[in-house]
């Protein structure tokens, strides 16, 4: 049975790498994938991983009907044996419905990859729809870690390493925090709710105002 699978996790946990591996393994067996992406850091029409691999993708536009795009592609003699959608959090809920229709009406597997929640730990609309519709939601096995060593479950947006909680939901970026630049850092829930990034934790530890806590 074809499936809609949502591979979800924090930033930097290997989602795009897995997407590229699925693509590689299937194309190595002669299958042909339709690859969608949106706002990849590597640029328009790309699906890229931090491990350095990159492939071409169809850049999804606002209002684009993904089901109609596939039907059109197939009716012109194009091939598509499965579908990959990276950065799926950036897709509109209607586009996720269209991907579900690709599974149900065209009989193709759809593998969607994306972060579930934004920097305020609120669901992206596209991710919410994926959770609602997916046959399976898979959490990636490679754990991204918080600076404290716990499993990272949340995405923080930072400016110069300091967590911010105001701003647009979508700001394309990477897990870096050079001065003045918008970046991201993955944190455990405790440190996300305390707004404590690696930089602010280090600064607090060095501060003369912080009294040493005797160990119990």
Ligand X SMILES: Nc1ncnc2c1ncn2[C@@H]1O[C@H](COP(=O)(O)OP(=O)(O)O)[C@@H](O)[C@H]1O
**9 among annotated binding-site residues:** yes
Q: In angstroms, what is the minimal distance from the CB of 195 to ligand LXEULUCI? A: 14
Of the listed 23, 44, 59, 87, which one is catalytic?
Answer: 87
Does 173 contact ligand LXEULUCI by CB under 6 A? yes
The pair of structure tokens assigned to 5 is: 């699978």
Strands of the sheet with 4-9, listed across from one edge: 58-59, 33-37, 82-85, 109-115, 4-9, 136-139
Measuring CA to CA, which residue among 196, 168, 198 is closest to residue 182?
A: 168
Q: In angstroms, what is the minimal distance from the CB of 164 to ligand X? A: 20
The pair of structure tokens assigned to 211 is: 């009294």
Which residue lies nearer to ligand X by CB, 51 or 148? 51
DSSP designation for 209: T
* Among 43-51, 58-66, 96-104, 154-162, the segment contacting ligand X (CB under 6 A): 43-51
Binding ligand X (rule: CB under 6 A), the pick from 50, 79, 122, 194 is 50
Which residue lies nearer to ligand X by CB, 87 or 109? 87
Binding ligand X (rule: CB under 6 A), the pick from 5, 6, 8, 17 is 17
The pair of structure tokens assigned to 190 is: 């405790």
Footprint of ligand X on 129-188 (CB under 6 A): 142, 144
Binding ligand X (rule: CB under 6 A), the pick from 13, 34, 96, 188 is 13
Q: Is 132 a catalytic residue?
A: no
DSSP designation for 92: -
Which residue stretches of 76-211 are H helix?
93-106, 125-133, 189-193, 198-206
DSSP designation for 117: B
Which residue stretches of the chain are H helix?
15-27, 66-75, 93-106, 125-133, 189-193, 198-206
Indicate the pairing of strand 54-56 with strand 109-115: unpaired
* Among 45-53, 164-172, 184-192, 193-201, the segment contacting ligand X (CB under 6 A): 45-53
Q: Which residues are catalytic?
A: 87
Report the binding-site residues for substrate: 170-173, 184
Q: What does the binding site for ligand LXEULUCI look like in residue numbers (CB under 6 A)? A: 11-12, 15-16, 41, 115, 118-119, 155, 157, 169-173, 184
Q: What does the binding site for ligand X look like in residue numbers (CB under 6 A)? A: 9, 11-17, 49-51, 142, 144
């Amino acid at each position: 049975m074809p499936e809609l699978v949502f591979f979800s996790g924090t930033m930097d946990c290997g989602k795009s790498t897995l997407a590229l591996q699925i693509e590689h393994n299937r194309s190595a067996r002669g299958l042909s994938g339709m690859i969608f992406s949106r706002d990849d850091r590597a640029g328009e029409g790309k699906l890229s991983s931090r491990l350095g691999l990159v492939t071409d993708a169809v850049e999804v536009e606002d209002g684009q009907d993904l089901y109609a795009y596939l039907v059109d592609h197939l009716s012109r003699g194009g091939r598509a044996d499965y579908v990959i959608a990276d950065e799926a959090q950036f897709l509109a809920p209607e586009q996720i419905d269209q991907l579900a229709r690709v599974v149900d009406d065209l009989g193709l597997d759809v593998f969607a990859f994306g972060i579930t929640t934004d920097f305020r730990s609120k669901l992206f609309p596209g991710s919410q729809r994926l959770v609602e519709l997916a046959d399976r939601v898979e959490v990636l096995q490679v754990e991204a870690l918080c600076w404290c060593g716990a499993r990272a479950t949340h995405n923080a947006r930072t400016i110069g390493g300091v967590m911010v909680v105001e701003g647009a939901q979508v700001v394309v970026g990477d897990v870096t925090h050079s001065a003045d630049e918008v970046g991201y850092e993955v944190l455990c829930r405790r440190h996300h709710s305390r707004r404590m990034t690696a930089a602010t934790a280090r600064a607090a530890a060095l501060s003369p105002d912080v009294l040493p806590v005797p160990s119990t």
